[in-house]
Chain A
Amino acid sequence: MNEPTKTQPRIGVYICHCGTNIAGVVDCKAVAETAAQYPNVVVSRDYKYMCSDPGQALIQQDIKEHKLDRIVVSSCSPLLHEHTFRGACEKGGLNPYCFQMVNIREHDSWVHEKGAAATDKAKDLTRAAVSRVAHHKPLETKTTPIHPDVMIVGGGIAGIQAALTLANAGQHVYLVEREPTIGGYMAKFDKTFPTLDCAACILTPKMSAVGAHPNITLWTYSEVAKVDGFVGNYKVVVKRKPRYIIEDLCVGCNECVTACVFKEGKFEDEFNMGLSKRKPVYMPFPQATPPIVLIDPETCINVKTGKCKKTCVEACGDRQAIDFTQKAEMKEVQVGTIILATGFQPFDAKRIPQYGYGIYPNVYTSLEIERLVNASGPTEGHVVLRDGKTKPKSVGIVHCVGSRDNKTHRWCSRVCCMYSMKLAHLIKHHTDAEVFNFYIDIRAPGKGYEEFYEKLQEEGVHFIRGRVAEVTDWQMSKEEEGKLVIRVEDTLAGFVRRIPVDMVVLAVGLEPHADSQDVRRQFNISCSTEGWFLERHPKLAPVNTFTDGIFIAGACQGPKDIPDTVAQAGAAAAEALSLIKAGSIELEPNTAFVVAEECSGCKTCIPMCPYTAISRDDVKKVAVINEALCKGCGTCVAACPSGAIKQNLFDDDEITSEIEAILAK
């Protein structure tokens, strides 16, 4: 290895064109020529693609030929290619940290107009890096072991798929689900588009596989309470809410449900979107996983008052699975990686009062219709109006409810066009009603999706291109009497229409969970402005987050349909698996350390550290940093009143030389 010398560094500078991405705005040749004049620069070149193999080879060759001991590459964001170029330095025989990257693409050519100002900026940034890199010291890369267990948060189809993939690969998985059963929204669907296969038929085998898998610890009715640690070594505390049922003893016979003092269901059944009633003790649905009942503390008389005959306990008999003394339980587990698959929540249709949801009884949300058309649903598959008997003769399906609207959500929810068509087909199939789809644009860009659209058109479903302005019950003519009237412009015909229907279906969009901000804070990841979990890179790292070891899958990252969700869940599982199989991960060596001779023991630094990495050596009366715990934020370095704390890669001399050089003219 070329040992960097303190006295006379030999620096190589490389200016990347990135095709025309940089060179189209910045005069790369001029930057390279100017950089050749900077102190200690031995070689300065510009090249079309520095990240390409020949580009990297160029660096390696120069290191040997010109005995370079420091490298600067001005190209794209270090968040993208720092790793690549450090690797190139290492292959060239140089310590990878004797390298500095300059971002002249994202921070320059892509955000500025072509001209002298952009080129000057590239020169300034490169000069600063040259000045800084001279202070870089060779560093040892540190690694940390990866605990092989994985935690998956969310038991919808994404969580289920990821859990099975990992468990089948031999990893132990903790699957945590907030609801009493796994299955998520997919379990509520009747059919899936565009193939129209039955959702339960494809989902429930997977659910039972999860329930039975020896490698999966399934915790339903549970929530993550606390997350500590870092990649490879997370400590997660899970709160298991009391379901007042001893899981191991319950066999799901439902005898307690039958025996409950409530003879009929009285409370809104969550699974059926409130279209039917359940008792305080209930099983969410027949295929619930785990297949056991629970007692809802909000509605159970015994839990609330203690004054109940407890017919359920009696019915359970010797099994003694009911335990009213159950309390919330905290479980702490150690895992190396975490996959978040917390999904979405449907848009609340009441936020758009002009569509009449909650005002007119026969306005439904799409999820209610999913339950209505389902043979195991509240009406056993009969599509009827709220009165429970009338078959609708005409149905209007309103697309984009809570989507593509600046006042609610700007995004396209991606699944509504397709599921609206699916529901149109099913409603028509069940009732032979005249079905209208009111859409802004039909978005059917998946395999077999456009063909499905075509099929629907052939079935005689109406497609009216226009966003519905209002669903109302005031009338203009006889035919409108007793109906809901949809006011819409038929934009393709070019005039406004009033269309009377019996039933309105609001195709509600997808939105982030109300508590997504709390969840992401808990796991220390970012959200997009809209509230979806933010991926590390939209194209190149779609399931990674900015926090190592935490992955995202499914609709928590953005609206997506089942095929995409399953694919992404597999990808997240693969990413976790690749860490586990590697056994360890390299850490940035940007940790801080105390120069004991300069430390006065003033203790300013100690409370600065959120990871309790700093302690006081009571014998020497100086601060000591545990490098294994240090994450390299540098807050203690900034606080140290003596400048006795140094930080690798972000030390005072490195940063101050950068400041000076960035401003030098």
Chain B
Amino acid sequence: METKSNNWEPRIVAFFCNWCTYTAADLAGVSRMKYAPNIRVIRLMCSGRLDPQYVMMAFAKGADGVLIGGCHPGDCHYVEGNYKTLRRVTLLERMLHDLGLEKERFRLEWISASEGDKVKKVVNEMVEQVRALGPLDMPGRFADWDKEMEELEAHVNHSQKEIPAHVH
């Protein structure tokens, strides 16, 4: 797909668990690590809270990529929420692939509270990969798809002169 404007910037929505990855992102901040400003973090208590609907919705609403961050296996603050994440994400990855999304647009990373540098690395890497793919722009695509209906809708609703109810 063609880039709509030259100054397009990837938009990545991230879902970070409160205890590991969100804290790691805080650590990256405290350590003043610089990374790409294209990421928007939504805090969840556990990556296990991630409903696959959120990922679908983020893409549908215009995200170019979605990043999930959770505690390393065995390290979940809630014992094993991240295993549930892994199960859902494994299937979701396949489904998104079948729905035509490039695999670089969706990523799961285990990032512990101490891995501020990994936040930086993963975000930068992902932004670059998504940038290379170009915009996903689902809202724009939906609008394009629905253009085919405009003409007919106008035709039906305006060409036929109004026949008011209860004339007879």
Contact = CB atoms under 8 A, between A and B. Distances in A.
Interface of A: 77-80, 103, 105-108, 110-113, 117-118, 120-121, 124-125, 128, 521, 524, 526-529, 534, 546-547, 590, 608, 610-611, 631-635, 637-639, 647, 650, 652, 655-656, 658-660, 662-665
What are the 7 A-B residue pairs with the smallest beta carbon separation, nearest first?
A106-B29, A634-B49, A635-B48, A610-B79, A633-B78, A110-B29, A633-B46
A121 B112 contact: no
A103 B62 contact: no
B135 interface: no
Interface string B7-47: 00101010000111011011011101111011011111110
15 contacts: A103-B41, A107-B29, A112-B34, A112-B37, A117-B37, A128-B40, A528-B114, A546-B23, A608-B48, A650-B44, A650-B45, A655-B44, A659-B61, A663-B63, A665-B62
Contacts of B44: 634, 650, 655
Interface string B99-122: 000000000000011110000100
Contacts of A638: 48-52, 84, 88
A534 B51 contact: no
Contacts of B120: 111
A633 B45 CA distance: 5
Nearest to A592: B49
B131 interface: no
Contacts of B81: 610, 633, 635
Nearest to A656: B57
B75 interface: yes
Contacts of B80: 610
B96 interface: no
A633 B48 contact: yes
Most buried by B among A107, A524, A652, A658: A107
Most buried by A among B46, B52, B88, B115: B46
A103 B25 CA distance: 10
Nearest to A116: B37
A534 B84 contact: no
Given A125-B40, A524-B77, A659-B42, A529 B84 contact: no
A534 B113 contact: yes
B57 A659 contact: yes
A634 B34 contact: no
B49 A111 contact: no
A634 B29 contact: no
A626 to B, nearest CB: 16
Given A79-B18, A125-B40, A656-B53, 8 more contacts: A105-B29, A106-B25, A111-B29, A524-B79, A547-B77, A634-B46, A635-B48, A652-B51
A399 B51 CA distance: 53
Contact of B112 (A113, A117, A526, A652): A526
A239 to B, nearest CB: 21
Nearest to A525: B77
Contacts of B25: 106-107
A219 B53 CA distance: 51
A658 B61 CA distance: 11
A634 B46 CA distance: 7
A664 B62 CA distance: 8
A230 to B, nearest CB: 11
A241 B60 CA distance: 59
Contacts of A80: 26
Nearest to A106: B29
Contacts of B53: 656
B26 A79 contact: yes
Interface in B45-91: 45-46, 48-54, 57-58, 61-63, 74-75, 77-81, 84, 88
Contact of B32 (A111, A524, A527, A590): A111
A546 B77 contact: yes
A626 B144 CA distance: 49
A128 B13 CA distance: 12
A112 B127 CA distance: 14
A78 B43 CA distance: 10
Contacts of B75: 521, 526
Given A112-B37, A547-B77, A633-B45, A656 B29 contact: no
A381 B28 CA distance: 50
Contacts of B20: 526
Nearest to A117: B37
Nearest to A78: B43
